[in-house]
Chain A
Amino acid sequence: MPHFRWCEVPESTLPVQKKKSSVNWGGYGFFLVCVVIMEFVARAGWLTSYVPPPSQIFVALWQGLINGDISSQIGVTLSVYVRGLALATVLAITIGILMGTYKPVFDALKIIVEFLRPVPSVAMIPLAILFFGLGATMRISVITYAAFWPMLINTIYGVRAIDPQALDVARNFGITGYEALWRVTLPSAVASIATGFRISATIALIVTITTELIAGNSGIGFYISQMEQANRLPPMYAAIILTGILGYLLNTLYFTLEHKVVFWTPAARERVT
């Protein structure tokens, strides 16, 4: 194959490359300033006693992580989270591909999907308690229900939005049926599925914490409600902030994964993390 070498192109004809400092010093500085102000305001007693100074919260977080109060709960939450999310993924992708590929299946299930989708998963909590009590199974079932829908919709969309030409080309090469599904349909739909996964995963974490808050017996959410009832405020706030941190870390992880998996789509190429 012949390959080409670009000879020297003078700088002035190159597109303008702007070099900006990519670290947002001003923003982080402002954040710190806010924290410091809160510190002073809380210590001076201007704020209600229900909002402790950030330093106390930070100390409580640190201690909780070290002595295991909080860190043990993280493990519980994540374990339930992962199981619920995994189950939802398997179900959603399977049903999604079926619904996206076979119109009769789509027609049959469409109405159920339309009706069940807007039901907030939290409404299912009493139902889940009824069947599963207050343990991990109850929480997993609710998480699965919540995480199922975004991924289902995205999978269906991804499967249906396949360029018909791709399938025609495949058929030309004798690839049909099950093999076509595996080698043509699925890779094309992966971009959409990956986005759906990210959305589902985000929802799954929130639902996990919420379920623990409302009716849990373990996990970070349960810890928060326990601390609230015991009026131990710094650990309560610490746990709340921890959920934020957890959510942020997981979200970053999913974004990176999504980029790695679907690097070829124009949308991913354009996007700046």
Chain B
Amino acid sequence: MSNPSEILLDVNGLQKRYADGTLAVQEITLNVRAREFVSIVGPSGCGKTTLLKTICALLAPTKGSVKLHGTLITEPPPQMVLVFQDYARSLFPWLTVTGNVMFPLRKRKDMTQAEKETASQRAIEAVGLTKFAKHYPWQLSGGMQQRVAIARAVAFRPEILLLDEPFASVDALTRADLEDLTLQLRDEFGITMLLVTHDIDEAVYLSDRVFVLSTPPSTVLEEIPILLSQPRDQVATRSEPGFLQLRNHIHGLIGKKKEDNSKRFILDSPIPRSVELEGDPVS
């Protein structure tokens, strides 16, 4: 286990350009400490998924580096697991929940079969799906499927979990449950979390630190430490004055940049004046 204040993940000057020349990520520098919960917030379309995939070494960066424990990574390392936004496409429909969760363990030679089964059972329990262990993923609701994906990641015992807008495709109530689940998992298994989201409230609620991204091509606008009380509570934390302050601050950061790039409608007729989309009062 790492020293709590040691830097686990170090991303330096990361740039990613697509094959056709478009710049997805211009320059990102950030770091994550062991057992920390770090969020990356940014407007939609600013290359957040690309960023996570590059950090995970699924894509090769055009410039810059990603280091885990000080070592450069070029292939997806076993200490890192990425949980996708679209759970339906990443889970395996021909396996049961248990099958899915045990799938990544098949390669592990350091565990006996019994140990693997226990590990997967424990992971399924941790996400609260013990009753559905023999079900197929498509028999479950969206939120439950995402839990399966998370259980699968947790059973693999990574040091750091990358989450790509994992709760975006899920309804608000389920989202609250899943948010608390990730906090629980961090406490129970000691896994570091790097979450990417466009939901500012979620980022502030969950994190120890938040990195705010600009519109594409993205850079880090600001690094914000979140000094709210622990443990987090959906009602209490969100009512703290500090919460609102932080949230509005981030909102302002993203909103400011957004203004330059907003799409505008102009109604040609019959109303002979322009109406701006972003909620400005009609003159």
A residues in contact (CB < 8 Å) with B: 2-7, 9-10, 12-13, 16-19
Contacts and interface: CB of A to CB of B under 8 A. Distances in A.
A187 B261 CA distance: 43
B263 interface: yes
25 contacts: A2-B267, A2-B268, A2-B269, A2-B270, A3-B268, A3-B269, A4-B265, A4-B268, A5-B265, A6-B263, A6-B265, A7-B264, A9-B261, A9-B263, A10-B261, A12-B23, A12-B216, A12-B217, A13-B45, A13-B215, A13-B216, A13-B261, A16-B20, A16-B22, A18-B18
Contacts of B23: 12
B173 interface: no
B235 interface: no
Contacts of B265: 4-6
A12 B17 CA distance: 12
Nearest to B19: A18
B21 to A, nearest CB: 10
Contacts of B111: none
Given A12-B217, A13-B45, A16-B20, A5 B263 contact: no
B216 A5 contact: no
B20 A7 contact: no
B271 interface: yes
Contacts of A6: 263, 265
A9 B23 CA distance: 16
B266 interface: yes
Interface in B1-52: 18-20, 22-23, 45
B254 to A, nearest CB: 14
Nearest to B22: A16
- From DSSP, what is the main secondary structure of chain A's interface residues? loop
A12 B24 CA distance: 8
Contact of A5 (B18, B45, B215, B268): B268
Contacts of A7: 263-264, 266
Nearest to B43: A13
A18 B20 contact: yes
Mostly, the B contact residues are loop
Given A7-B266, A12-B216, A2 B271 contact: yes
Contacts, number: 39
A168 B264 CA distance: 39
A189 to B, nearest CB: 30
B171 to A, nearest CB: 26
A4 B23 CA distance: 30
A16 B268 contact: no
Interface string B238-270: 000000000000000000000001011111111
9 nearest CB pairs, A to B? A12-B216, A7-B264, A4-B265, A2-B267, A5-B266, A18-B20, A16-B22, A10-B261, A2-B269
Most buried by B among A12, A16, A17: A12
Given A13-B45, A16-B18, A4 B266 contact: yes
B195 to A, nearest CB: 23
A19 B20 contact: yes
Contacts of B19: 18
A6 B268 CA distance: 11
A10 B262 CA distance: 9
B105 to A, nearest CB: 36
Q: Which of A2, A9, A17 lies at the interface centre, i.e. has the most chain B CB atoms within 10 A of its CB?
A: A2
Contacts of A17: 20
Nearest to B47: A12
A129 to B, nearest CB: 49
Contacts of A19: 20
A1 to B, nearest CB: 8
A130 to B, nearest CB: 50
Contacts of B215: 12-13
Contacts of B261: 9-10, 13
Contacts of B216: 12-13
A7 to B, nearest CB: 5
A22 to B, nearest CB: 14
A5, A7, A18, A19: most-surrounded residue (chain B CB, <10 A): A7
A13 B19 CA distance: 17
Given A4-B267, A5-B268, 14 more contacts: A2-B268, A2-B270, A2-B271, A4-B268, A5-B265, A6-B265, A7-B263, A7-B264, A9-B261, A12-B23, A12-B216, A13-B45, A13-B261, A16-B20
